[in-house]
Amino acid sequence: MAAPTMETSTATPTPTQTITIAKGLNMALRSAMERDPKVIMMGEDVGKLGGVFRVTDGLQKDFGENRVLDTPLAESGIIGTAIGLAMRGFRPVCEIQFDGFIFPGFDQIVSQLSKMHFRSQGKVKLPVVIRVPFGGGIGAVEHHSESPESLFAHVSGLKVVSCSNPVDAYWMLQQAIDSDDPVLFFEPKRRYWEKAELDPTAEPASLFTSKVQRPGAAATLVTYGPMVRTCLDAAKAAEEEGRDLEVIDLRSLSPLDLDPVFDSVRRTGRLVAVSESAPESSVTSEVATRVQQECFYSLEAPVLRVNGFDTPYPPSRLEDGFLPDLDRVLDAVDRSLAY
Amino acid sequence: MSAEHWTRPSRPEGQAQNGTAPGHPAATSAAPTREQVIAGLRATSEGGADLVQLLTPEGQRVSHPNFDIDITDEQLRGMYRDMVLVRRADREGNALQRQGQLGIWVPLLGQEAAQIGAGRAMRPQDMAFPSYREHGVAWCRGVDPTELLGIFRGTDHGSWDPNTTGMGLYTIVIGNQCLNAAGYAMGQRFEGRVGNAGGDAAENEATIAFFGDGATSQGDVHEGMVWGAVYDAPVVFFCQNNQWAISEPTERQTRVPLYERARGYGFPGIRVDGNDVLASLAVTQWALDECRHGNGPVLIEAFTYRMDAHTTSDDATRYRLDDDIEAWKLKDPIERLRVHLVREQLADQEFLDGVDAEADELAQRFRDFCINMPEPPPERMFSQVYAQESPVVAAQRDDYLQYLDGFADSVAGHNAEGSVR
């Protein structure tokens, strides 16, 4: 896919600046809404409050109540009406407040949103983006820390992406809004306030591609979303022990862009796949399957995985154990290198 | 016509929540008995005080203070023709399923008046969001009956274009379309297509969602009405209460007559005789006009009866009585209009015979089309999954087609389907 050309708008900062992921998303929404009057934002508390994470801060003030909709509290309603609006020619961006609240909208997503293009053989396009703050690590109560992305990656007709840093947040969300396909956009909520430099004049990477975030030769770590930071930290720690790890950010979970992963594994011979989600039948399962199909003769060790567990998300006092951390990642690297 | 007509007299003290139909003789105690509830739900054209009717089952024109309608003789004959042709295609669909030509058929029998009345009330720029039994609505939107066949033969999921016909594709998950319709109507409002120049302006639009009595139990229908109300969306919720959700009767869905639920959402609810095409047309026209004026939404409960099974896979004899069907046969929507046309000398035998002959031609064309439909090629599985092709799907398509090609030499003469085991 060719990267969409982002026209300069008043919202696009000309000088390089330091931004957070939350700010990058906010700037992306603003830019998309300025470029196209058909882009509308809808969700619970997204208007006056600016969203519970303030990602939509200030948008309703500037674009009005018909473009930034504070909706009734029902997720099927948000997604079901977004489908109708998209059929009318709008490009709705829905905010789901927390990952665990997406399930009341699951029916509309899998029954209608994902299938209408295929059902109509392209006559109906549904350019809907559903933003989902996801993952744990914030000490929250139940339903506020889940990683349901694999459920959606399994659904044909959807595209599923996850950003891991402010620069990707800024570009990927605009590209998702520009996409004529429905996109589930997973945001690493515990990383919302991490900062990076954004150069708005730099050419963005294509949306549905993975990216090598850190080159290395000893073993490959493949991950996405909140675990990219964890894996980069692990790679830094490993470097101090003389181990040179490569870190690949998948960015797109459906479709998966695994060619860079295959290239990497052919060089390193070792792969550790990392995510917060339950491991069984997950994105990391798919990565492991396809890497062993494509790179069987290059592998020096079995593909290993570091995930959450196949349990419901635990009470938050236990989440440090549930979530993969630097030590668990490095332990898997040790096991891989021991073969 | 004002929206005031739906405001009903306040109930006597102690009956505010009792859920029975107003004016029902048994509604005297605070808590209704189960029998009272069911009687309210089943209020028929004889017994339902709020039922809007313009044509009696005997074919007599009657007046209604709020829903009188001017209609030409030509329009009346046209709606008779609509109903006869749609019924004929529907019966042919049933027969084709029985002969193994269709995997399943969803019969419309008995609901022609509700659908033709509502469908003929729509303007070209309006949008319909159907369930899966809306063959009559499809007809009014210019979707040829043959275009329905692919869904039931298994060659496609609906071949017409919603953008050009103003008819959404059939929706099989119960109630989903009510939210999609509410969203579409929100878009009409956001685009300023309601309330222009007195509501009759050509640019004004409305949306109509079709669903059944069973769907009213679904969360999406509730949410659709919430969204429609809070965004003042120009959407008509058209419930065809055909009394049965497969084997579940209306009293398994609700304790109050369905049209009364609208009050809880803050918009008008009207019960119309769904076997009366004139009343269905008049009420739907009024409701769509309310929406075009910017006064939407409206809930219409078209009180009708599903004369056939739920689908050709259903056995309705296991759960309902022949007596009910016999009683409803007397309210047949086509027969009552035919009697009216003949009695008022609005149609002669030549006209009636002409419509029958046209129905014969349609049936033949419907049947021929069905039998001669081509099988979809295997690449159809992979076609248009995404607007921007997925490399994963593209690779699977290429692999599968190459795999099929591998059979070509060994089983020459067999088609692809026959050669794959």
Report the interhelical angle of B277-293 vs B333-343 (nearest 10°). 100
Q: Taking CA atoms, what residue in B is nearest to A90?
A: B187
Cβ pair B384:A108 closer than 8 A: no
Q: CA geometry: angle at A159 spanning A230 and A195, to 5°?
A: 35
**C-alpha A140 chain-centroid distance:** 20
Question: Which backbone phi and psi does B166 adopt, to 5 degrees?
Answer: 70, 30
pLDDT greater than 80 at residue B6: no
The answer on A91 and A144 residing in a single domain is yes
Q: If you average pLDDT over residues B224-228, what whole number do you get? A: 98
The answer on A266 and A181 residing in a single domain is no
Mean pLDDT value across chain B: 89
Q: Which tokens belong to B135? A: 């063959």
The answer on A132 and A25 residing in a single domain is yes
Summarised one tens digit per residue, pLDDT across range A244-280 is: 999 999 999 999 999 999 999 999 999 999 999 999 9
Q: Residue A158 is part of which domain span?
A: 17-198
The answer on A264 and A144 residing in a single domain is no
Nearest to B239 by CA among B101, B111, B416: B111
Please report which confidence band the pLDDT of residue B201 belongs to, taking 50, 70 and 90 as the band edges: confident
Cα(A237)–Cα(A76) distance, integer angstroms: 44
Cβ pair A72:B227 closer than 8 A: yes
Q: Which residues of B touch A77 (CB under 8 A)?
A: 179, 182, 220, 223-224, 226-227
Nearest to B377 by CA among B416, B414, B419, B350: B416
Cα(B52)–Cα(B288) distance, integer angstroms: 16
Residue A234 falls inside a structural domain? yes
Give the domain-ending residue among A198, A221, A239: A198
CATH number, position A294: 3.40.50.920
Q: CA of A25, closest CA in chain B: separation in Å?
A: 23
Chain B, residues 35-74, CB within 8 A of chain A, namely none
Residue A203 falls inside a structural domain? no
pLDDT greater than 80 at residue B44: no
Q: Based on the number of CB atoms within 10 Å of its own CB, is B31 exposed (0-12), middle (13-18) or buried (19 or more)?
A: exposed
Please report which confidence band the pLDDT of residue B49 belongs to, taking 50, 70 and 90 as the band edges: confident
Cα(A286)–Cα(A281) distance, integer angstroms: 8
Kindly list the distances between the CA atom of residue B320 and the CA atoms of A167, B104, B204, B310, B324, in Å, as whole numbers in the listed order.
64, 21, 44, 12, 7
- The pLDDT assigned to B323 comes to 85
Identity at B274, one-letter amino acid code? G
Chain B, residues 120-149, CB within 8 A of chain A, namely 129
Cβ pair A124:B230 closer than 8 A: no
Q: If you average pLDDT over residues B25-31, what whole number do you get? A: 52
- The pLDDT assigned to B86 comes to 98
Residue B98 is among the residues annotated as catalytic for this protein: no
Helix (H, G, I), strand (E, B) or coil at B289: helix
Residue B319 is among the residues annotated as catalytic for this protein: yes
The answer on A301 and A189 residing in a single domain is no
Nearest to A171 by CA among A28, A52, A299: A28
Q: CA of A92, closest CA in chain B: separation in Å?
A: 10
Lowest model confidence (mean pLDDT) among B4-8, B110-114, B123-127, B249-253: B4-8
Please report which confidence band the pLDDT of residue B33 belongs to, taking 50, 70 and 90 as the band edges: confident
Cβ pair A81:B384 closer than 8 A: no
Contacts of B250 (CB under 8 A, 6+ apart): B41, B42, B213, B241, B243, B244, B258
Cα(B51)–Cα(B279) distance, integer angstroms: 10
Residue A10 falls inside a structural domain? no
Q: Taking CA atoms, what residue in B is nearest to A179?
A: B388
pLDDT greater than 70 at residue B406: yes
Cα(B153)–Cα(A125) distance, integer angstroms: 25
> Do B337 and B79 form a contact (C-beta atoms < 8 A)?
yes
The answer on A161 and A52 residing in a single domain is yes
Q: CA of A326, closest CA in chain B: separation in Å?
A: 32
Question: Which backbone phi and psi does A184 adopt, to 5 degrees?
Answer: -90, 120
Q: CA of B410, closest CA in chain A: separation in Å?
A: 29
Count, residues in chain B? 421
> Do B119 and B167 form a contact (C-beta atoms < 8 A)?
no
Summarised one tens digit per residue, pLDDT across range A76-93 is: 999 999 999 999 999 999
Q: Taking CA atoms, what residue in B is nearest to A110?
A: B173
Q: Taking CA atoms, what residue in A is nearest to B228?
A: A81
Cα(A19)–Cα(A38) distance, integer angstroms: 27
Neighbouring CB atoms inside 10 A of A123's CB total 17
- Residue of higher predicted confidence among B29 and A281: A281
Q: CA of B385, closest CA in chain A: separation in Å?
A: 5
The answer on A318 and A248 residing in a single domain is yes
> Do A205 and A172 form a contact (C-beta atoms < 8 A)?
no
Residue A8 falls inside a structural domain? no
Chain B, residues 325-384, CB within 8 A of chain A, namely 383-384
Report the interhelical angle of A21-35 vs A166-178 (nearest 10°). 30
Residue A11 falls inside a structural domain? no
- The pLDDT assigned to A128 comes to 98
Residue A205 falls inside a structural domain? no
Q: Taking CA atoms, what residue in B is nearest to A88?
A: B184
- Residue of higher predicted confidence among A221 and B10: A221
Identity at A106, one-letter amino acid code? F
Cβ pair A1:B388 closer than 8 A: yes
Residue A240 falls inside a structural domain? yes
- Name the pairing type of β-strands B244-245 and B248-249: antiparallel
Interface check for B113 against chain A (CB to CB < 8 A): the answer is: no
The dihedral through the CA atoms of B68, B186, A37, A91 has a sign that is negative
For residue B330, the number of C-alpha atoms closer than 13 Å in the C-beta half-sphere is: 10
Nearest to A126 by CA among A171, A98, A84, A64: A84
Interface check for A111 against chain B (CB to CB < 8 A): the answer is: yes
> What DSSP string runs through A93-122?
EEE-SSGGG-GGGHHIIIIIITTHHHHTTT
Residue B310 is among the residues annotated as catalytic for this protein: yes
Helix (H, G, I), strand (E, B) or coil at A132: strand
Task: Give the one of A84, A89, A120 whose C-beta lies nearest to B186's C-beta.
Answer: A84
Which ranges of chain A have pLDDT less than 70?
Answer: 1-14
Please report which confidence band the pLDDT of residue B43 belongs to, taking 50, 70 and 90 as the band edges: low
In terms of DSSP H, where are the helices of B236-276? 261-265
The answer on A192 and A54 residing in a single domain is yes
Neighbouring CB atoms inside 10 A of A245's CB total 26
Cβ pair A107:B220 closer than 8 A: yes
Cα(A272)–Cα(A220) distance, integer angstroms: 6
**C-alpha B402 chain-centroid distance:** 44
Interface check for A258 against chain B (CB to CB < 8 A): the answer is: no
The answer on A181 and A242 residing in a single domain is no
Q: CA of B231, closest CA in chain A: separation in Å?
A: 9
CATH number, position A154: 3.40.50.970
Please report which confidence band the pLDDT of residue B289 belongs to, taking 50, 70 and 90 as the band edges: very high
Number of compact structural domains in chain A: 2
Cβ pair B162:A124 closer than 8 A: yes
Residue A49 falls inside a structural domain? yes
Interface check for A64 against chain B (CB to CB < 8 A): the answer is: no
The answer on A133 and A32 residing in a single domain is yes
Task: Give the one of B191, B219, B230 whose C-beta lies nearest to A76's C-beta.
Answer: B219
- The pLDDT assigned to B34 comes to 75
- The pLDDT assigned to B333 comes to 97
Strands (E), A16-148: 17-20, 39-43, 68-70, 91-95, 129-134
Cα(A30)–Cα(A26) distance, integer angstroms: 6
Cβ pair A77:B173 closer than 8 A: no
Cβ pair B180:A90 closer than 8 A: no
- The pLDDT assigned to A14 comes to 67
Lowest model confidence (mean pLDDT) among A98-102, A119-123, B21-25, B51-55: B21-25
> What DSSP string runs through B174-229?
TTHHHHHHHHHHHHHHHTT-SS-GGGT-TT---EEEEEETGGGGSHHHHHHHHHHH
Cβ pair B161:A120 closer than 8 A: yes
The answer on A254 and A231 residing in a single domain is yes
Cα(A126)–Cα(B388) distance, integer angstroms: 12
Task: Give the one of B188, B223, B388 whose C-beta lies nearest to A88's C-beta.
Answer: B188
- The pLDDT assigned to A81 comes to 98
Q: If you average pLDDT over residues B38-59, what whole number do you get? A: 77
The answer on A234 and A138 residing in a single domain is no
Summarised one tens digit per residue, pLDDT across range B69-120 is: 999 999 999 999 999 999 999 999 999 999 999 999 999 999 999 999 999 9
Q: Which residues of B touch A1 (CB under 8 A)?
A: 388
Give the domain-ending residue among A198, A229, A247: A198
Give the domain-ending residue among A198, A226, A253: A198
Nearest to A287 by CA among A312, A327, A260: A260
Count, residues in chain A? 339
